[in-house]
Amino acid sequence: MSATIAGRFEVVRRLGSGSFAETVLARDRAADRLVAIKALTRPGNLKAYELFEREAAVLRSLRHQGVPEIFETLRADWNGTPASLLVMEYVEGQSLAEMIDGGRRLAREELLEVLLSLLGVLDYLHGRMPPVLHRDIKPANVIVRPDGTAALVDFGAVRSVFSPPGEHGSTVVGTYGYMPYEQYMGQASPASDLYAVGATVLHVVTGRPPAEFMSSEGQLAVPDELPCGEPLRGVLVRLLRPAPGDRYQNARQVRSALFGEPGTAVAVAGPASVAVATAVSPGVEALLAELPAGPRRMDRAMRRLVKRIAGSPLELMDPRTPPGAPGFDVASAAMVTLFSVITIGILPAVFLSLAATRRRRVTPFVREGIPAFGVIDDMEKVDIGFGEHLTRVRYHFEINGRTHRGSDQVTPWRTERWRVGDRVELLYLPDREFDSIIVV
């Protein structure tokens, strides 16, 4: 390599290299400062060139102390061959990978400082419009400065969440052990970056790469005992859950969980749903907290959940009385017998049909739905005939910073104490345009 690049940059030393690029530390004689220069070493590779150009374009738009600033791009000779160069801020410090390789263990306070710095960077990136995903967070890409704060480097895998479906969608980038399953399928989200942060912290805490904790099902199993203790261990468990909907949905939720702020232990749907009252019973909350990632096998427990959510024909015939109320079964049976005689069997058939329709709608949500919290916007009575009614509940919920709206019909005995602004538990299906149901 030449000691001088473009007649202006004096090479100091090599910083690192990858499959497509090499990075060196150099002194910019014109600006009298140290810079990092990243050179595309495989210019004939179109995918490498695309990733290189994307990194340059994204870095130009970012301004954050945890992201290196880009100074310029240029073409210059590199080892005797013309190459594309990216000149950017040199982040002084040591990477987490270098610390791990050197046997250094971060104290708890140091680790929290690094983690909070990373969360601050991700809060900034994911809060952009459109959100920006790093997609390759790992110890080698986290630089710890002398003051203990961290910077995120190497944005070669970066991607906008809302890229057109045909653009970059088939590109699988990332590093095994640090990237979640959905990223292999080209479905990365902010929760994917948070997963990578969890895997990175697990590596730092244990000194062992996350691949060593991978189960046969492809899930990272966090050890029961970690030097960092609680609540950090519990936060790591949730960050590393296989289903993206089961993880924290944004960096602020992770920060709140670390500092024990109320409402964050089970919140899934975003900050707007954390600070409100709840219409969710503790039983439902516990049930969905233990719900395995979908698709789920429709065993007896899942069928019971379908029945619980959908309700029975008897509940529809007497929707104002809780099923567990004294005399409910006897009174409902007497009602069915009476109305069967009066209506020649038509009334029970109507409610049997309504219950069957409801079960068919609920089943795919129980099989594949992702839990979330919604906030009630309004409620109104809906006549279902024969003098009975249900309550139509309209609500909104947030996923990855985007607001979705839905509605569902619930029996009045459940909603009589609900109020606008209360929180409700949901199951939603991303592949059905975020269709959702209320879980009661």
Name the residue with higher pLDDT: 387 or 135: 135
Mean pLDDT of the 22-39 span: 91
User: Which of 70-79, 261-270, 303-312 has the lowest average pLDDT?
Assistant: 261-270
Q: Which pair of tokens denotes residue 328?
A: 């409910």
Q: How confident is the model at residue 385 (pLDDT cuts 50, 70, 90)?
A: low
Domains of the chain (ranges plus CATH)?
4-89 (3.30.200.20), 94-265 (1.10.510.10), 300-438 (no CATH)
Q: How confident is the model at residue 6 (pLDDT cuts 50, 70, 90)?
A: confident
Angle at alpha carbon of residue 18, lines to 15 and 19, rounded to 5°: 160
Q: What is the pLDDT of residues 217-271, one digit of tens each?
A: 778 999 988 888 888 999 999 999 998 888 999 998 998 888 764 444 333 333 3
Q: How confident is the model at residue 43 (pLDDT cuts 50, 70, 90)?
A: low
pTM (whole model) above 0.85:
no
Mean pLDDT of the 145-157 span: 83
Tell me which range, 149-163, 190-204, 290-304, 416-430, is most confidently predicted by mean pLDDT: 190-204
Residue 28 confidence (pLDDT) above 90:
yes
**CA 82/CA 302 separation, integer angstroms:** 61
Assess contact for 302 and 367: CB atoms under 8 A: yes
Side-chain-facing half-sphere of 440: CA atoms under 13 Å: 19
Residue 199 confidence (pLDDT) above 90:
yes
**What pLDDT does residue 32 have?**
92
How much of the chain exceeds pLDDT 70, in percent?
A: 76
Q: How confident is the model at residue 387 (pLDDT cuts 50, 70, 90)?
A: low
Residue 274 confidence (pLDDT) above 60:
no
**How does the average pLDDT of the chain come out, rounded?**
78
**What pLDDT does residue 219 have?**
85
Q: What is the pLDDT of residues 321-343, one digit of tens each?
A: 665 545 444 444 445 454 444 44
**What pLDDT does residue 208 have?**
93
- Cα 396 to Cα 7, 183, 240, 424, 438: the distances in Å are 58, 27, 26, 10, 11
Residue 312 confidence (pLDDT) above 80:
no
| Count of positions (residues) in the chain | 440
**Sign (positive/negative) of CA torsion 11, 17, 19, 21?**
negative
**CA 286/CA 291 separation, integer angstroms:** 9
- Cα 387 to Cα 7, 351, 381, 382, 417: the distances in Å are 87, 13, 12, 11, 21
**Sign (positive/negative) of CA torsion 38, 43, 48, 52?**
positive
Cα-to-chain-centroid distance, residue 106:
27
Active site residues: 136
Q: Which pair of tokens denotes residue 105?
A: 């263990």
Q: What is the pLDDT of residues 400-428, one digit of tens each?
A: 778 888 999 888 877 877 888 788 889 99
Q: How confident is the model at residue 47 (pLDDT cuts 50, 70, 90)?
A: low
**CA 65/CA 250 separation, integer angstroms:** 19
Assess contact for 195 and 133: CB atoms under 8 A: no
**What pLDDT does residue 411 have?**
84
